[in-house]
Amino acid sequence: MTTSTLPTFYIPHGGGPCFFMDPLPGLPSGLWDPMARHLRSLPHAVGRRPRAVLVISAHWECPRITVQSAATHTLLFDYYGFPDHTYRLRYPAAGEPQVARRVRALLTQQGIACDEEQERGLDHGVFVPFKLIYPEADVPVVQLSLRTGLDPLEHLRVGRALQPLRHAGVLIVGSGMSFHNLRHFMTIEASLVQGSDRFDAWLNAAVSASPADRERSLATWSQAPGALVSHPRSEHLLPLMVAAGAAGDDAGHRIHHERLLGKLISGFQFGATPAALPA
């Protein structure tokens, strides 16, 4: 990998507007602090300011891959039951229509149908973590959808098609959660914790494998130990497939690891050499 090529990332984006409110009643103080520190550290891991960021969020699915092409963004407050002030958050990052056009062209060249739209706002899988990553909102943001059906092979292929963006100053970020079982997220039950631990270990091994083995493993993620306990539905895992596909032959590394309400949560970087995990 040349020094001019940006890495790709798979980040955890937390729960709703979690970083901008006190933990809900009954939850520990500082629950989200380790994840917030990780997100704030990402500019250092990137190494330089990107021209723009292309974010694949777990919270947008379309019948065909769709890219936001607007020059300016509104915000989509697609969470429910949180304090009033969390519906007044702002993140005035610009869009980047030229990058959106390039995304469509790259996907079309590889036979992947891609639509564009200009009305949908940035959802909380984008603006919530990026308020920590680039708090000044001074890096343009383009959002890319998942495709309905959530086929891992298809999303790996999308990532592979987008590799050239990394050489053009565009940072590719998959935004999800490596454990996402909302029904049981608050339950510290042995079978769930064990399932989370097994899947997290498998996922780290899969990401750290050679690129060919990595893709084979991720394509069959649902067969992994603890997979369906950790992801009854895969929308929060699929952004990882795009980031991994866009990594090409670059190595993958775990750069974030924490236990959140008993469940293991990881974040990953592809390409470059990541800074050591904090103790």
**pLDDT tens digits for 110-137?**
999 999 999 999 999 999 999 999 999 9
pLDDT band at 192 (very low <50, low <70, confident <90, very high): confident
The domain in which residue 132 lies consists of 8-270
Determine, yes or no, domain membership for 175: yes
Determine, yes or no, domain membership for 279: no
Q: For residue 28, what are its two tokens?
A: 């520990």
Strands 141-147 and 52-62: parallel
Determine, yes or no, domain membership for 174: yes
Q: Which of 60-74, 82-96, 208-222, 259-273 has the lowest mean pLDDT?
A: 259-273
pLDDT band at 183 (very low <50, low <70, confident <90, very high): confident
Strands 65-68 and 52-62: unpaired
Nearest to 159 by CA among 66, 220, 244, 218: 244
Q: For residue 235, what are its two tokens?
A: 């929308």
Counted domains in the chain: 1
DSSP assignment of 22-42: PPPTTSPTTTTHHHHHHHHHH
Beta bridge partners of 264: 259
Determine, yes or no, domain membership for 194: yes
pLDDT for res 136:
98
Determine, yes or no, domain membership for 19: yes
Residues 193-221: tens digit of each pLDDT: 899 999 999 999 999 999 999 999 999 99
CA distance 275 to 265: 18
Determine, yes or no, domain membership for 276: no
Q: Which amino acid is at 49?
A: R
Determine, yes or no, domain membership for 83: yes
Q: Is the pLDDT of residue 188 over 90?
A: no
pLDDT for res 216:
97
Determine, yes or no, domain membership for 249: yes
CA distance 259 to 262: 5
This prediction's pTM? 0.95
pLDDT band at 274 (very low <50, low <70, confident <90, very high): low
CATH code of the domain in which 145 resides: 3.40.830.10
